[in-house]
Every structure is written in C-alpha cells, then in structure tokens.
Amino acid sequence: MKNKIVVLFSLLVVASMLLAACGGGTGPGASDDAQDSGPFVAKKLEAADCDSTGIIKAVEAVDQYTVTFTLCQSDPAFLSKIAFSPFAIYPEEWIERTAGEESRTSEGLEKPIGTGPYMISEWKRGESVNFKAFDGYWGEQPLAETLVLRWQSEAAARLLELQSGTIDGIDNLGPADFDVVAADSNLTLVERPALNIFYIGMTNTFAPYDDVRVRQAIAYGIDQQRIVDNFYPAGSEIATHFTPCAIPNACAGDAWYPFDPAKGRELLADAGFPEGFSTKIYYRDVVRGYLPQVPNVAQDVQAQLKANLNIDAEIVVMESGAFIEASSAGQLDGLYFLGWGADYPHVTNFLDYHFGSANPQFGTPHPEIYENLEKGSQIADPAEAEPFYTAANNAIKELVPMVIVAHGGSGTAYRADVTNPQASPLTNEQFAVSDPGGRDVFVFMQNAEPISLFCADETDGESLRACDQVMEALYGYEVNGTAVVPMLATACTPNEDLSVWTCTLREGVKFHDGTSFDANDVVTTFTMGLDASSPLHKGNTGVFEYYDYLWGLMNLTPAE
C-alpha cells in the first residue's frame, strides 16, 4: 500500500508540472467569461495588533504566487493545521458572490467551488451527494468518472448493501462485522488506527456540574473497561488520557481515575448528594469510530450511573446539527456523548480545541489547563514542551471538564475488486485514487448526511469528507496517512522562530468555474474565515469553529 501511495503522489506531481507548463484547463461548463482578466493587485489581511486577533497577525499576497502568514507566536503545528480541510481555498469572486446578508447563500452551502479532482454534480437531499470528475484538475484525474456518497445510520444495513453489491465501500463497521468481512472473499477489510477519543461531556455552568466533586464522582463511577469490552471492536482500548498515546506528549502526566464507585458515592455525599440526583444523557444517533454503538452505550451508561452512583439519567436523542450546535456552545444541561478524531496528528489538535480559553463547550474554561497549553503550543521540540503538557493533562484529570472513556478502533470495508481501499486515520479518504474495479461510478456509504458543504464553517465528519473530494488546502495529508504533503502550495517555509511562513503557490491551477488560482484567493479565503468584522465572514452557523479554535478570530466585538 505504501508503494502505491508513493507512485500516486509522484504521478500527481508530474501531472501538475505538465499542466502548469500548458496553462491548465477548465472545468465542464466553464465559459470564456469565467477566465481572469486585468492586472494582479495584491491583497492583504492584517490585524491592528496581536490583541485584536488570535495566532495569525497577517496574511499577505506578496505577488501572484507567494503568500506570507505572519503569526503572533511560534507555531510548530502550522503545516499540520493548514492542511486541514476547513482551511481549503475558495475563489475570491465566489466568496464575494455567495456572502449573503445574514449567512452564506444556498449555492455557497450546497455547491462549493474548489480545485479538487471532483466537483459537485447534485445534492439529492436525504439520498446522496453526487460528484463528477473535474477535467481541468491540475493533478491525476480521478479513477472513477462519478463519485456518489450515500448514508445509512445502521452499521448492519451498510454491510448488507455492500454484500449485495449495490455500493463499493462503507465506513465504520459494526464491532461484530469485522470477522464477517474478514471471512468473506468478496470483501476487503481495512482497519483504521484509533486516533480518537470518546468522552462524556458536562458543562460547569449548570448545577450540579459546577461542583468539581460531582464531576470527579462520575469519573470514578463509569466502568470504561466494561464499555470497551461490550461495545467496541478489536483494536479499541480504554482511555488513560484525552489524546491517544501514539501522538507525542499525549500521555504526559498521570493516568485517568480507576473505576471506584464507592469513592464516587463518597464524593457525591460530600457535595451534598448522598442520594444521587436526576440528570439527562444527550446524544445524536450517528455512528463514529470513537462511538460505534451509540444507543447501546447510552443505555449502559444510564444503567451504570444508577447502579454505581444512584444517578437517574433520562436519555434524550437529538438531531445531529442541533446537537453539535448546542454542545459546542455549552448549552446542554446534562451529560452528553461526544468524541473527536484526529484532524491533524498533533497534541494541539486534541487539547487546544477542547480546553482552550475561548471554548465554551464545558462551561467556564480553566486557566490551569489553557495557560499550560498556550505555552506548550509554541515550542517545537516535544521534549522541551513536555512539562507543560504534563501540567495540562494533570489539570484535566483534577478538574474533570469531561469524563474520558475510550479510543475506538474502527474500520472500513470494500468490494474485493476495489483497488487502493482506504481507511484514513484522519477519516479524510480521497476517493479519486480508488478504482472501483474499472467501473465508472464509485459509491461509498457513510454514517450520516452532510450538514452543509461549506466546510469552512462545519465540524461534522460527514460534511468534511464530502468537502475533501472537492476542496483543497495549501497542504494536505498523504493518502491513508498523517504526513503532510504540498497541495495548492509547492512549499511553505518558516523563519527561524516559526512565526512567519512563506508559501509558494502552485501555478496553472484552475477552480471548477474556470478561474485561475492565485495568492488573492488565499488572502480572501482567510479573510472570510478569520475576520469577524468582514462582510465575507458568513457561513452556515457563522461560528467558524475551526478557524476560531485553531487560529483565533480577528476583530471580535465584546459580544462575540
């Protein structure tokens, strides 16, 4: 598999050089008036000072094919972050055209214009998202002319469709299905590394979760091993830390609480709840690698809370989009099930997003955690940064913003005649490089329908996977891996202290509408995502969570 990836990437590079020499191409339906005209006038996004922004101070088009990112601090994870799909580049004209008064227009939410190997053909709501190959793509053409993403929440139903031959691949096998697929010569099993975390969230602005003793009691009262043994597939493990230990500094500091319900009941009594209390368990019925059997786990946790801590918990199932919005804003007054899969392979991706000073998800953030994270995130050497991550992990254990449960093994399955089947550890499968046995149509079934296809303002995995087929960032991740590779940039190089990154852009690249990619598209995209005062800062929710938590927004008003 590794050799195939190397060959495919080499072909992409060669093809891009040839296209650049020939001036690129245009997509289906592109007209002559879609082409660019007029001299290049460089744009610049710049904050007044570092007090009015997050990490990024300025994004400047030095010339048509050079962009400079000036940061307010060193950022050793810059390349890993810039490769993440929410930071994909859009055409400046499209950004301006689709920015409505209150939100992005329906065109912007449903039919993004990118530079990727596929372009959106049709989104049949409730049924499928259909893609067609972009014949002006700068790299290797997709191996299938048409890509179809479908969805089904039940793992058994997904497997049944695969076995019947109506689809080519499925995501997130049920725990009992791994052996079924492995024993079927007509199918291929691809296991995904467990770079994820399932946790039970709480918000400390709601009683009784404003008392750390209550939060600690729940940590003692949940039997992690029982959940993993009963509901998770092979390759899963109980979580000792929030971040999977395969990532440097992830498991610095003390391990999580042992299962000890007697200690949990003692803490509840000290907090004034000797007879327990009543609460709710919120979840969305969407399967994830970190949570493969959602209703079953909810019922088990409900039973454990009653038996171990005398806590009565009512189960509340929410629609996916509403659940994400409410949990992200810290609006759920009970326990809730969420998790995280690696977007980029760095400890900042797990810890900074969840426990940073700007995240209201768990209520009032804890300086004992985020101050150490801020210091650690600016140090390139993992050994030098380790003391700060030790302190942060120990504070997470002591303060219990949430209860960690498991790192879930997961897998995909494909028809046996599919070449280069994928199970990306980052769940960003690139279907353009998979061949569905020589057929013109590749059909993949995931767990749920995308929320929107404007992924600059989405966090949902199903949305991001769809966008990954259409959109490209300056860097990307290798197929089926975590290493970063140049995409729309040929290179981004830092200064000595990693506070200024200069990106040389790939020439000859065309967007799906036929316009040419240049530095102003990069500046306008980051203006849209970062600058809260810009009329272009419009999306689906308008929160731009990844821009906010990974970079920090510019020009926020006090109300924001």
**CB 429 within 8 Å of CB 422:** yes
- My answer on whether 399 and 421 are in the same domain is no
User: How many Å from the N-terminal Cα to the C-terminal Cα in the chain?
Assistant: 47
pLDDT at 379: 86
Q: With respect to residue 38, please indicate whether it lies within any of the assigned structural domains.
A: no
Helix runs in 77-149, H state only: 78-82, 92-98, 106-110
DSSP class per residue in 413-424: EEETTEES----
- My answer on whether 320 and 457 are in the same domain is no
- My answer on whether 338 and 425 are in the same domain is no
Q: With respect to residue 553, please indicate whether it lies within any of the assigned structural domains.
A: no
Rounded distance between C-alpha atoms, residue 89 and residue 464, angstroms: 14
Take residue 329 and report the two structure tokens written for it.
């804003």
CATH number, domain with residue 359: 3.10.105.10
- My answer on whether 508 and 372 are in the same domain is no
pLDDT at 36: 54
Identify the domain boundary among 407, 427, 455: 407
Q: With respect to residue 73, please indicate whether it lies within any of the assigned structural domains.
A: no
Q: Could you give the count of Cα atoms lying within 13 Å of 141 in the half-sphere of its Cβ?
A: 14
**CB 269 within 8 Å of CB 275:** no
Q: With respect to residue 185, please indicate whether it lies within any of the assigned structural domains.
A: no
What is the distance of C-alpha 529 from the center of its chain?
Answer: 16
Identify the domain boundary among 366, 384, 407: 407
Helix runs in 151-274, H state only: 155-164, 177-182, 212-221, 224-231, 261-270
Q: With respect to residue 461, please indicate whether it lies within any of the assigned structural domains.
A: yes
pLDDT at 269: 98
Rounded distance between C-alpha atoms, residue 444 and residue 422, angstroms: 11
Q: With respect to residue 216, please indicate whether it lies within any of the assigned structural domains.
A: yes
How many domains in the chain? 2
pLDDT at 559: 56
**CB 428 within 8 Å of CB 422:** no
- My answer on whether 379 and 242 are in the same domain is yes
Take residue 274 and report the two structure tokens written for it.
């000797």
- My answer on whether 238 and 341 are in the same domain is yes
Identify the domain boundary among 391, 407, 423: 407
DSSP class per residue in 50-69: GGGSSSEEEEEEEETTEEEE
Tell me which residue of 290, 334, 301 sits closest to 221, measured CA to CA: 301
Q: Is 555 exposed, middle or buried (0-12, 13-18, 19+ CB in 10 A)?
A: middle
CA dihedral sign, ordered 229, 235, 238, 242: negative
Q: With respect to residue 545, please indicate whether it lies within any of the assigned structural domains.
A: no
- My answer on whether 346 and 462 are in the same domain is no
- My answer on whether 235 and 347 are in the same domain is yes
Rounded distance between C-alpha atoms, residue 522 and residue 88, angstroms: 9
- My answer on whether 234 and 341 are in the same domain is yes
Per-residue pLDDT of the chain (560 residues; tens, 9 = 90+): 433 333 333 433 334 443 333 433 333 333 334 445 578 999 999 999 999 999 999 999 999 999 999 999 999 899 999 999 999 999 999 999 999 989 999 999 999 999 999 999 999 999 999 999 999 999 999 999 999 999 999 999 999 999 999 999 999 998 889 999 999 999 999 998 889 999 999 999 999 999 999 999 999 999 999 999 999 988 899 999 999 998 889 999 999 999 999 999 999 999 999 999 999 999 999 888 899 999 999 999 999 999 999 999 999 999 998 999 999 999 999 999 999 988 888 899 999 989 999 899 999 999 999 999 999 988 878 899 999 999 999 999 999 999 999 999 889 999 999 999 999 988 999 999 999 999 999 999 999 999 999 999 999 999 999 999 999 999 999 999 888 999 999 999 999 999 999 999 999 999 999 999 999 999 999 999 999 999 999 999 999 999 998 899 999 986 55
- My answer on whether 229 and 331 are in the same domain is yes
Q: With respect to residue 551, please indicate whether it lies within any of the assigned structural domains.
A: no
Residue 286 to residues 131, 224, 337, 338, 485: CA-CA distances in angstroms?
23, 21, 11, 10, 31
Domain containing 495 equals 2-33+79-151+412-513
- My answer on whether 384 and 264 are in the same domain is yes
pLDDT at 37: 57
- My answer on whether 365 and 428 are in the same domain is no
